[in-house]
Amino acid sequence: MKSSTTALTEAIYYILLALQEPLHGYGIMQKTSAMSRGRLTLSAGTLYGAISNLLEKGWIIPCGESSDSDGRRKMYQITPLGQEVLTAEYERLTELVENGKAIINRE
């Protein structure tokens, strides 16, 4: 079943990738930056807008609070529907790359 018929933004794609394990907002910001080698730096406004959108779509859910110093950081994790959307986007991106290689590397 196809869960998403439109391409994900780069930020949404990386947020869903980051949430393969429960993380709080700051952890998501750090992980997305690390995965993109610093190319994608999410501002707090962008991140929390995206989180709100992802919660509404049912692609992520809150999963408790962090056990760090103040314990008030909300934690999030990807849902099965979010995983399905992420997998569909991965497959779409893979197809793009394979088609690009076939054309660009043609002798």
The model's pLDDT over 89-102, given as tens digits with 9 standing for 90+, comes to: 999 999 999 999 99
Q: 10-104 adopts what CATH topology?
A: Arc Repressor Mutant, subunit A (1.10.10)
Under the banding of pLDDT at 50, 70 and 90, the label for residue 1 is: very low
61-to-7, 23, 24, 35, 48 alpha-carbon distances in Å? 21, 11, 11, 22, 13
Greater model confidence, 22 or 5: 22
pLDDT of residue 5: 65
The model's pTM is 0.86
Burial class (CB within 10 angstroms; exposed 0-12, middle 13-18, buried 19+) of 97 = exposed
Alpha carbon distance 79, 37 (integer Å):
26
pLDDT at 69 (0 to 100): 56
Q: Note the pLDDT tens digit of each residue in 52-62.
A: 999 999 999 99
What are the residue ranges spanned by the domains of the chain?
A: 10-104
Residues 26, 46: contact at Cβ < 8 Å? no
Helix (H, G, I), strand (E, B) or coil at 66: coil
Give Cβ neighbours of residue 14 (< 8 Å, ≥ 6 apart).
32, 35, 36, 40
Chain mean position to CA 3: 15
pLDDT at res. 34: 96
Mean pLDDT of the chain: 90
pLDDT of residue 88: 96
